[in-house]
Chains A and B, each alone.
Chain A
Amino acid sequence: MNSSKTRAKTAPVAANGRRTIKVDYLARVEGEGSLQVKIRNNEVVDCKLGIFEPPRFFEAFLRGRSYTEPPDITARICGICPVAYQMSSVHAIESAFGATVPEPIRELRRLLYCGEWIESHALHIYMLHAPDFLGYEDAIRMAADHAEAVQRGLKLKKTGNDLVALLGGREIHPISVRVGGFYRVPTKKELQPIAEKLKWARDAALETVRWTASLPFPDFEQDYEFVALHHPDEYALNEGKLISNKGLDIRVQDYDRYFIEEHVAHSNALHSRIAGRGAYFVGPLARFNLNFDQLSPLAREAAREVDFLPQCRNPFKSIIARAVETLYACDEALRIIENYEMPEQPFVEVHPRSGMGYGCTEAPRGILVHRYRFDEHGQILDAKIVPPTAQNQRVMEADLCAVVTEHLGLDEEKLTWLCEQTIRNYDPCISCATHFLRLEVERLD
């Protein structure tokens, strides 16, 4: 396979009193974007996360399509979290048509989602983010000194992929999900081999919690508004209401009344904010802080063991939250498999009608909102998709400003490193948000 991407760095340049650090391509993120920090007289005057990948027009592609198509079309938005797109779309469509699915289908959806969480989180923890903490340029160099950890990460990721492939037909862009359920569901016997792998993965995830908690963390905290889906009886994946640590408590169908998307000049992804308040934080740390009580006893105990407790306001510790969630996902997957009874029908019939439906599920990176409006035949009149990275853009920019402000004394190389690490706290999927992160720190002294 080929790629035109190359990694290029230029050294700091001194010209006319201005100093510039430029990283043409920031690796270890999904997609392409740029980052610009302007410093004047030792003060940060501007921080912009620019997403210059052209808009992808998925919402427009969906207009005029049948209600049966969004799970497959929107899954193509992302190779890392296609299940999230499938889940948010089927929930939105079923909500519009007043359909509900039986418990076994609901559980299978959770099981599929667990697979995606495991593979996505393991990839980010071990291959993308951990090198930042341990001082390696990438996971390959890290593996020379931390071979056991990297092998554990790769095997964990594979377990997640295997689970998605088993339920979804293949690990990337699975093909078994449909409105009302699945095209095919597994037999109880078919799930047994993956259960054995998940038992290993659960132990490996527990080790991952301990390993991530041992990393060196910058002393950095902010007063965030964390937003996540909340369900009283389970760690929310597919269903629940939207809550925050600052009083938000709304139904998913009221999303548009409380959240605003707006265009900013430097980004092809829309920025989101909470009406009247501003930036908010979605993803593993938000979920951990808001839904700790719904984690499995094993996941809660592991978090306590490493003294990682809500309310954590240090975004660098998102890597521990990802590890706890990986443990939870293994535990939850095993619970579902143990209790699984094959449904009589793999799906329920859904009858289209005119109306609007919202779906919000927890993608590995945070809440993913879908909204569809249909005519009486179930043809899509308009669609809206709000991915987690777009929602985190404002808070990423705010973090960057604060981190640079607190570390102005660092030399350019260390400051650039810290900026990249700060952005990777959010595991940004720029491909989803509209792809390439270019970092530029400009000192206008």
Chain B
Amino acid sequence: MTPNLTYVIVVGVLVAAGVTLLLERSLTRVLMGVILLGNGANLLLLTGGRAGAPPIVGGAPQEEMSDPLPQAMILTAIVITLGMTAFLLALAYRSWHLNGHDEVQDDVEDRRIMDLAERDEGPGDADAGTGDDDDDAEADPERSLTASADAGRAG
């Protein structure tokens, strides 16, 4: 079987566009990236089987039929993408409802660890015995959380 160049190009473009969107922070964009990527992947699967007449017995001789196996796999993939789209949409809506935007934030705790690393400090955990900052954090969790969240959005 020789490669179908049209498929190859479409797969490449869909994946490129999908990945570009996937790397964005807006959940809606990420979701569209997932859909495009999914379509690209489906088409990639399809290149694994030959094209031909519909795989319905009686319609065409068996040798002329397209390969049914990738089709069955793609069919389930399409419907799963539907479920995933619904879920991500709900997530985007929820994020917007709670935060006023649908952007994927940086993890606040990770941001704090990066700050520690930049200041060349240890985790300062009480049981390690280096500092008292866990008590400070307990005293004012709100402040440090918001500060880190702002840092996350900026970055």
Is A bound to B? no
Interface residues of A (CB under 8 A from B): none
